[in-house]
C-alpha cells in the first residue's frame, strides 16, 4: 500500500444549475486509482458515471454544469484548480478518453493518417522517427492490419471495430497515465468487443497505465477490473475490490442489480427485478436515494443519507443496514 | 433439399429455406445489377405455440431481415413462410388481414417506435380499432385491461410518450402489440436500449405474458444471456445462414459449431473467477457482398480444415433437435 495513487478523487461534486433547479449529477464521489490498476465505475443512466469521467477531464458542459466541490489530485496536483490551458496539456496526454461511438470521435472529413499525425504533433514528443512513421507505429500497436494503407482511409471506410481501434491508438499516442473508457465497447459486436478488451489489457500490460471503465455492464467489470465503484443517483453506493464485490455485495442496490442480470453460464428460471426506477436528480428523496426501491428499508433510511461504512478491507458501502440498527 | 420437420404439428410459423437477396445496382437511371447481397440465405426454423425462438448473431448476419420477412415487411426472394400450415404468400385478403393481426412486433428503441403526437391510450388502441370496430365503452375496457397487463395505471392513458421513462415506453409498446391478441410477437432487441435494472422487469413481464396468453415470441438479440433467459429454442446465424440450432439448454451446455463456441467464449462472465476457454476469433465478419467460398465462417474459424473453403457444409441433425452445419462433425 505504499504506492502513491495516480488519481485521488475526494468528495467530487458536479452540479448543473438549470431553470427547474439544481441537478446534483455527481454528489460527493471519492475514489483512488493506483498505477496500473483498473477501476470500473458501474451504474445506470443518470447515475453520474459519465459526468464523473467528464469532471476528471474538466469537460463538464458549460455554463450549466460546474464542479462545486471536492478535489481531483492527479500526481499530487489538484485538477479542479487548473486553468483550461493547463488542462489542455494534461488532456489527451496524461489522461485520455475513449468514447462509445467512434464515428463521432473521429473527424469524418480527414483521413485516419491525418488525424493521427495531428495527435502525434500535438504531443510534441521527442521522437526520432518522422510523424508518419510514428503514426503507423501507433496503428500497429492497436493491431490494425496493413497500417500503411489504412493511413489514407477515411473513418467511414472502416468498420466499427477498426474505428474504435483508431480511437484507441490516438488515446495511447501520448503514453497516458490514465485511460478512461466510457462505454467504449458498448457499440461493438460480441466477438469484436472481446478482441478490443484483450487489446486494452495488452496495452495496459505494456505501458502500465491505469484504466477507468465507465460501464453499465457487470460482465466488463468481472472480466477487466481490479476494483469497482457502483454508482447510484450521483453517489458511490459501494466500492470494493472486484472479488469482494461479487462474493459479498454489501449494498442492497449492488446485490439486487447482480441478481437481475441474466447469465450465460447458468440457467435461471426467474430473474429478480428491482421495482421502480432511479430517482430524478433534481428531486432526490430526503434520505437514502435508494430507499424508495430498497427491500430492506427502515425508518432511518428516510431520514438521512447514510455514511460510507467500512465493511471489510478496502470495501465500503453507503447503507444504514451495515451500521447496525 | 429442404430440412424436414418432425414436430411440425405445433409450429405456428414455419420458415422453409427462406432467402432474401437484395440486388446491388449501379448507375442512376439505367440501373444495372452488379451483384446481390444474400442477407438471408436459406433459413429454416419453426416458431412453436407458447414458446420463444431466439435468433442470435452479430450485426449483418441477417437476423433482422428474417424478422422482417416474418412481419411481411420484406418478401422472401426464395423459400416460403407457412402460417398454420398455409403459405403466407398465397393468402387471400381476409387471411392476410388475419395474419397481420396475428403477428405483431416490439422494437428496440421505444423512443422512435411510439408516435410522439398521440396519447398513450390512442397508441395502444390504434391497431385494435383499425381491425375491430367497437364502441367507446368496450374500447375503454380493453385499454384498461391492456394497461393492467403491462403494469401501467389507467391514468397513464392520457399521457404522451415523452412523459415516460424507457422501461415504461417499452411497456406501452408491448401493450400495443398485445392489443390484437396475437399468436406471435416479434421482439427485435426488446431490452438492449434499456437500463440494467429495467431489463429484468421487461423480460419478466414478457415471460409472464407468455405464460398467461400462450403467445409465441421470435426474439432477435445479440446478447446471449438474454437469449438464454428468454428462449426455448435458439438459432445462431452467421452471414445469412443458420450455423447451429438447438433447444436452449442443449445449445448452451453443448455448443458444437466453432462460431457458437466463440460467441459463448466472447460473452462477458458473470463472476471474475469464471475463466472461459480462450477462443479469440481473428478479424471481422466478411462483407456479405462477397462472402467467402465454401463455409462462410472458414476465414475466421480456428479449426479450419482443407475442405472448408471448397465445400459448403449442410445443416445436419447431430442430436435430437440439435442441428449444426460444420465439416468437423
Taking only the tens place, the pLDDT of each residue in A268-297 is: 888 888 888 888 888 888 889 999 999 999
Q: Please judge whether B200 and A273 are an interchain contact, meaning their C-beta atoms are less than 8 angstroms apart.
A: yes
Nearest to A277 among B59, B198, B267 (CB): B198
Residue pointed to by grid coordinates 395502444:
B124
Q: Please judge whether A198 and B265 are an interchain contact, meaning their C-beta atoms are less than 8 angstroms apart.
A: no
In chain A, % of residues over pLDDT 70: 97
Q: Please judge whether A267 and B222 are an interchain contact, meaning their C-beta atoms are less than 8 angstroms apart.
A: no
Q: Of B62, B254, B269, B302, which to mutate for an interface test with A (greatest number of A Cβ within 10 Å)?
A: B269
Q: Please judge whether A271 and B273 are an interchain contact, meaning their C-beta atoms are less than 8 angstroms apart.
A: no
B72 backbone φψ class: left, alpha, beta (φ>0; ψ -120 to 50)? left
**CA of B10 to nearest chain A CA: how many angstroms apart?**
24
Closest chain B residue to the Cα of A257, Cα to Cα = B197
If 0-12 CB within 10 Å is exposed, 13-18 middle and 19+ buried, where does residue B173 land?
Answer: buried
- Edge-to-edge strand list for the sheet holding B103-106: B103-106, B184-188, B216-221, B52-56, B233-238, B241-247, B322-324, B316-319
Instruction: Please report residues of B whose CB lies closer than 8 A to that of A216.
Output: 195-196
In terms of DSSP bridges, do strands B216-221 and B184-188 run parallel, antiparallel, or are they unpaired?
parallel
CB contact at 8 A, B98 and B53:
no
If 0-12 CB within 10 Å is exposed, 13-18 middle and 19+ buried, where does residue A317 land?
Answer: buried
Instruction: Please report residues of B whose CB lies closer than 8 A to that of A44.
Output: 195-198
Q: What integer pLDDT is reported at residue B59 of this predicted model?
A: 84
Taking the whole predicted model, whether its pTM rises above 0.90 is answered as: no
CB contact at 8 A, B66 and B17:
no
Q: Please judge whether B267 and A220 are an interchain contact, meaning their C-beta atoms are less than 8 angstroms apart.
A: no
A263-272, A281-290, A297-306, B201-210: which has the highest mean pLDDT?
A: B201-210
CB contact at 8 A, B230 and A263:
no
Q: Please judge whether A272 and B200 are an interchain contact, meaning their C-beta atoms are less than 8 angstroms apart.
A: yes
Contact residues, chain B to chain A, C-beta under 8 Å: 58-59, 165, 167, 195-201, 203-204, 207, 222-226, 228-229, 249, 252, 262-274, 280-281, 284-285
CB contact at 8 A, B253 and B269:
no
Rounded (5°) CA angle A24-A30-A31:
140
Q: Which residues contact B270 (CB under 8 A, 6 or more apart)?
A: A218, A219, A222, A261, A263, A264, A265, B225
- The domain at A7-94+176-323 falls in which architecture? 3-Layer(aba) Sandwich (3.40)
Q: What integer pLDDT is reported at residue B8 of this predicted model?
A: 45
CB contact at 8 A, B132 and B142:
no
Q: Please judge whether A44 and B195 are an interchain contact, meaning their C-beta atoms are less than 8 angstroms apart.
A: yes
C-alpha cell belonging to residue B33:
445489377
Listing DSSP states for B284-317 in one string gives -PPPTTSPPSSSTTTTT-TT--TTTTTS----EE
> Poorest-confidence range of A41-50, A52-61, A270-279?
A270-279
Q: Please judge whether B197 and A278 are an interchain contact, meaning their C-beta atoms are less than 8 angstroms apart.
A: yes
Q: What integer pLDDT is reported at residue B2 of this predicted model?
A: 38
Q: Please judge whether B269 and A223 are an interchain contact, meaning their C-beta atoms are less than 8 angstroms apart.
A: yes
Q: Which of A23, A78, A29, A71 is nearest to A49 (CA)?
A: A29
Q: What integer pLDDT is reported at residue A189 of this predicted model?
A: 86
Nearest to A264 among B165, B264, B272 (CB): B264
For the segment A188-212, what is each residue's pLDDT rounded down to a tens digit? 888 889 889 999 999 999 999 999 9
ipTM of the complex model = 0.84
- pLDDT of B5 strictly over 50: no
> Poorest-confidence range of A28-37, A268-277, A296-305?
A268-277
**CA of B261 to nearest chain A CA: how many angstroms apart?**
11
Nearest to A262 among B197, B222, B228 (CB): B228
If 0-12 CB within 10 Å is exposed, 13-18 middle and 19+ buried, where does residue A2 land?
Answer: exposed
Q: What integer pLDDT is reported at residue B104 of this predicted model?
A: 95
Q: Please judge whether A191 and B58 are an interchain contact, meaning their C-beta atoms are less than 8 angstroms apart.
A: yes
A92 touches chain B (CB under 8 A): no
Q: Please judge whether A44 and B196 are an interchain contact, meaning their C-beta atoms are less than 8 angstroms apart.
A: yes
A157 touches chain B (CB under 8 A): no
**CA of A91 to nearest chain B CA: how many angstroms apart?**
30
For the segment A114-130, what is each residue's pLDDT rounded down to a tens digit? 999 888 888 766 655 68
**CA of B272 to nearest chain A CA: how many angstroms apart?**
4
3-state secondary structure of A275: coil
Closest chain B residue to the Cα of A193, Cα to Cα = B266
Q: Please judge whether B268 and A274 are an interchain contact, meaning their C-beta atoms are less than 8 angstroms apart.
A: no
- Alpha helix (H) ranges present in B154-257? 166-178, 196-213, 224-230, 248-253
**Helix (H), strand (E), coil (C) string for B8-46:** HHHEEEEEEEEEEEEEEEECCCCCEEEEEEEEEEEEEEE
Amino acid at each position: 500500500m505504499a504506492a502513491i495513487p495516480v488519481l485521488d478523487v475526494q468528495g467530487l461534486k458536479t452540479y448543473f444549475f438549470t431553470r427547474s433547479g439544481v441537478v446534483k449529477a455527481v454528489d460527493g464521489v471519492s475514489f483512488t486509482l493506483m498505477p496500473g490498476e483498473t477501476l470500473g465505475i458501474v451504474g445506470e443512466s443518470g447515475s453520474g458515471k459519465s459526468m464523473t469521467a467528464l469532471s476528471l477531464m474538466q469537460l463538464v458542459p458549460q455554463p450549466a454544469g460546474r464542479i462545486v466541490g471536492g478535489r481531483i489530485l492527479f500526481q499530487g496536483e489538484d485538477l479542479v484548480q487548473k486553468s483550461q490551458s493547463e488542462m489542455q496539456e494534461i488532456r489527451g496526454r496524461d489522461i485520455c478518453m475513449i468514447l462509445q461511438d467512434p464515428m463521432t470521435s473521429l473527424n469524418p472529413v480527414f483521413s485516419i493518417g491525418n488525424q493521427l499525425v495531428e495527435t502525434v504533433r500535438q504531443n510534441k514528443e521527442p521522437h526520432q522517427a518522422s510523424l508518419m512513421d510514428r503514426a503507423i507505429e501507433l496503428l500497429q500497436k492497436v493491431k490494425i492490419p496493413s497500417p500503411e494503407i489504412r493511413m489514407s482511409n477515411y473513418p467511414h471506410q472502416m468498420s466499427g471495430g477498426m474505428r474504435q481501434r483508431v480511437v484507441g491508438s490516438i488515446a495511447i499516442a501520448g503514453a497516458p497515465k490514465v485511460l478512461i473508457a466510457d462505454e467504449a465497447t458498448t457499440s461493438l459486436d460480441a466477438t469484436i468487443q472481446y478482441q478490443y478488451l484483450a487489446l486494452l489489457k495488452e496495452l495496459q500490460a505494456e505501458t502500465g497505465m491505469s484504466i477507468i471503465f465507465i460501464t453499465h455492464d457487470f460482465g466488463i467489470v468481472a472480466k477487466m477490473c481490479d476494483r469497482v465503484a457502483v454508482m447510484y443517483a450521483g453517489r458511490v453506493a459501494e466500492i470494493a475490490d472486484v472479488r469482494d464485490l461479487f462474493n459479498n455485495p454489501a449494498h442492497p442496490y449492488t446485490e439486487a442489480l447482480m441478481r437481475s442480470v441474466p447469465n450465460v453460464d447458468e440457467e435461471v428460471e426467474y430473474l429478480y427485478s428491482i421495482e421502480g426506477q432511479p430517482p430524478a436528480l433534481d428531486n432526490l428523496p430526503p434520505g437514502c436515494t435508494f430507499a424508495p426501491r430498497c427491500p430492506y428499508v427502515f425508518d432511518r433510511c428516510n431520514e438521512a443519507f447514510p455514511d460510507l461504512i467500512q465493511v471489510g478491507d478496502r470495501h465500503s458501502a453507503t447503507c444504514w443496514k451495515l451500521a447496525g440498527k | 433439399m429442404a430440412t424436414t420437420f418432425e414436430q411440425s404439428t405445433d409450429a405456428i410459423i414455419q420458415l422453409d429455406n427462406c432467402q432474401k437477396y437484395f440486388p446491388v445496382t449501379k448507375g442512376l437511371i439505367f440501373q444495372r445489377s452488379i451483384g446481390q447481397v444474400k442477407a438471408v440465405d436459406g433459413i429454416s426454423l419453426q416458431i412453436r405455440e407458447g414458446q420463444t425462438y431466439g435468433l442470435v448473431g452479430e450485426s449483418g448476419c441477417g437476423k433482422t431481415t428474417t424478422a422482417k420477412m416474418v412481419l411481411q415487411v420484406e418478401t422472401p426472394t426464395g423459400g416460403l413462410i407457412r402460417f398454420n400450415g398455409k403459405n403466407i404468400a398465397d393468402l387471400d385478403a381476409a387471411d392476410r388481414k388475419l395474419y397481420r393481426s396475428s403477428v405483431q412486433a416490439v422494437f428496440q428503441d421505444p423512443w422512435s417506435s411510439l408516435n410522439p403526437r398521440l396519447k398513450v391510450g390512442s397508441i395502444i388502441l390504434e391497431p385494435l380499432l383499425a381491425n375491430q370496430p367497437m364502441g367507446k365503452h368496450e374500447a375503454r375496457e380493453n385499454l384498461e385491461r391492456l394497461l393492467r397487463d403491462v403494469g401501467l395505471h389507467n391514468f397513464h392513458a392520457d399521457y404522451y410518450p415523452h412523459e415516460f421513462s424507457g422501461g415504461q415506453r417499452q411497456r406501452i409498446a408491448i401493450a400495443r402489440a398485445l392489443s390484437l391478441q396475437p399468436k406471435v410477437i416479434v421482439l427485435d432487441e426488446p431490452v438492449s436500449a434499456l437500463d440494467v435494472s429495467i431489463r429484468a422487469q421487461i423480460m419478466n413481464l414478457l415471460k409472464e405474458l407468455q405464460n398467461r396468453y400462450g403467445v409465441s415470441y421470435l426474439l432477435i438479440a445479440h446478447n446471449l444471456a438474454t437469449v438464454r433467459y428468454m428462449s426455448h429454442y435458439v438459432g445462431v446465424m452467421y452471414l445469412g445462414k443458420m450455423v447451429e440450432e438447438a433447444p436452449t439448454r442443449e445449445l448452451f451446455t453443448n455448443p458444437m459449431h466453432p462460431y457458437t463456441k466463440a460467441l459463448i467464449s466472447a460473452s462477458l462472465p458473470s463472476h471474475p473467477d469464471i475463466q472461459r476457454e480462450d477462443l479469440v476469433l481473428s478479424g471481422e465478419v466478411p462483407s456479405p457482398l462477397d462472402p467467402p467460398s465454401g463455409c462462410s465462417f472458414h476465414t475466421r474459424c480456428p479449426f479450419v480444415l482443407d475442405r472448408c473453403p471448397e465445400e459448403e457444409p449442410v445443416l445436419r441433425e447431430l442430436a435430437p433437435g440439435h442441428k449444426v452445419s460444420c465439416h468437423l462433425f
